[in-house]
A = this chain, B = another copy of it.
């Protein structure tokens, strides 16, 4: 068994799960049974709050709890100012989730950096673990040196089963049993269900991390249910498979033609002189054309819904050995920058004394 087999789709974004079940004609922010969705923009960052209750959990297949998604192109654009903004925003959202979980300022934290440090797109967890401010040994050995406003924090990178031979969930259990933290923050790289989320999304959740149920429950989850203490997860999609890329591209083509038809019929198009040709184009669910048009563009494939289409593409690509899991070629700097953003966000969320703006200087050692 190769180490790489171990980097399977460990989880995905609630935001995506929710979207998958929303019909095109529905607005994203429209409330649905058991799932509340709110959106907010902070500068260039889009925040989405998804709250899932028991009923919603059943419907969209995600555990009940709170999911906050931050969307930003700070990493992909390699824009250091936007990255600093993203770290600050992450810090504030993380504080919200700590509050939701009832975590107090003096509660002790164990940060778990999941993933394989030798596989770059899977290394975000270990890299974050390396860069966060760790204090628990100071509280233990030299309590007099720890200033007010700091919390006791430990951090581990347990590795992956392909390298250690040990179920990651078990290893964490052993460590928690030994050091008794009050809560856990688990950082992990994710597989994305959408090409536009790669390295452009951070999801915070209070539901922990739940490996695919298909693996026969052999890999246990990392959650409050398992350990008896709150587990806050921070996940970043860094990889996507060829099936998803193909499916998304087909959808974009359908919407592209849908938009074109709409605009052709719209008189406003001709009149608007202010169109900025440099603005980045976006396509929305509203652009998806009706079934007849979809068939004209894409034949039988165009008529399938997302699940059917993905299933079909998968059935074709997998036996050929071409359903590669891929990552952008700039993976080295993307992963390093993202780890830096997350470590900064965690540092200023955990330690009251660390100002958001100064958090970066705590990440280097």
Contacts and interface: CB of A to CB of B under 8 A. Distances in A.
A175 B179 contact: no
Nearest to A189: B329
B299 A295 contact: yes
A174 B178 contact: yes
A267 B175 CA distance: 60
Given A136-B166, A166-B175, A364-B80, A122 B329 contact: yes
Interface residues of A, number: 98
A329 to B, nearest CB: 5
A1 B300 CA distance: 43
Contacts of A175: 166, 171, 174-175
A196 B136 contact: no
Interface stretch (A91-99, A157-165, A228-236, A342-350): A157-165
A50 interface: no
Contacts of A76: 321
Q: Is the interface of A mostly helix, strand, loop or mixed?
A: helix
A196 B138 CA distance: 30
B177 A161 contact: no
Contacts of A174: 174-179
Interface of A: 1-4, 7, 73, 76, 78, 80, 118-122, 130, 134-138, 140-142, 145, 152-159, 161-167, 170-171, 173-179, 195-196, 198, 218, 238-240, 242-243, 245-246, 248-250, 252-253, 256, 280-283, 295-302, 312-313, 316-317, 319-322, 324-333, 361, 364-365
4 closest Cβ pairs, A-B complex: A174-B178, A299-B299, A136-B165, A174-B174
17 contacts: A4-B333, A76-B321, A118-B333, A130-B163, A134-B162, A137-B162, A137-B167, A138-B165, A174-B174, A174-B178, A177-B177, A196-B322, A252-B317, A253-B301, A297-B299, A325-B329, A326-B327
